[in-house]
Amino acid sequence: ALYYQQVTNLEQLDDVLKNRLMDYNSMAKRGMELVLFTSAAQHICRMVRVLKTPMGNALLVGVGGSGRKSLATLATFVAEYDHFSIEITKNYQVTDWHDDIKRLLMSVGGGSQEAPVQTTFLLADTQIPKESFLEDTSSLLNNGEVPNLFNAEDKTAIMEGCGAAAQAAGCNGQAETLAFFTEQCRKNLHL
């Protein structure tokens, strides 16, 4: 649809991406010094197109140091989405992972009493120390949720946070509101 516009002027695309990179560097804690050659610009365009596609997700494959994370970060900024990633430490456990995923889902699903936010979750293979993390990631991709992640207190917060939006969409009751929340997560989370 709107995101399939052919680029006819590569110099103009290069200028736009360089300006967006300068904007990112002026706002980010850590700037990125990238050389945006034609192939890199094409990859950024592809990533933006995937991110802007409803429920669009991507698996970036390449050798270490090839710029996957940097280009994905810039594509997220170009798409005007929030960026989310986890910081793995040697003491990072499954409970830390679940807390991070809860925080992410509350943000993208609207359960935090703020409007849902389009977010890109950048997850590298080095950030998956336990097989259960991969299973949870698969569940996020397939269903928009992680089974048994939210306790009763979390579900109450979700009901309060997105209850009005769910009612406006015609959802009544806890089950329908939680299903609405999950659908918002699927729409607003891009991995």
Are the C-beta atoms of 113 and 160 separated by less than 8 Å?
yes
Please give the single-letter amino acid code of residue 87.
Answer: E
Reported residue count of the chain is: 191
Alpha-carbon radius of gyration of the chain: 18
pLDDT confidence of residue 151: 93
pTM for the full predicted model: 0.87
Query: Using one digit for the tens of pLDDT, what is the confidence trace for 51-93?
Result: 998 899 999 988 888 889 999 999 999 999 999 999 999 899 9
Residue 166 has pLDDT above 80, yes or no: yes
Residue 159 has pLDDT above 80, yes or no: yes
Query: Using one digit for the tens of pLDDT, what is the confidence trace for 109-156?
Result: 887 666 778 999 999 888 888 899 999 999 999 998 999 999 999 999
Please give the single-letter amino acid code of residue 169.
Answer: A
Query: Using one digit for the tens of pLDDT, what is the confidence trace for 85-104?
Result: 999 998 999 999 999 999 99
Residue 3 has pLDDT above 70, yes or no: no
pLDDT confidence of residue 116: 76
Are the C-beta atoms of 112 and 185 separated by less than 8 Å?
no
* C-alpha distances out from residue 151 to 67, 99, 147, 155, 187, Å: 38, 12, 11, 6, 23
pLDDT confidence of residue 48: 93
Of 50 and 4, the one with more pLDDT: 50
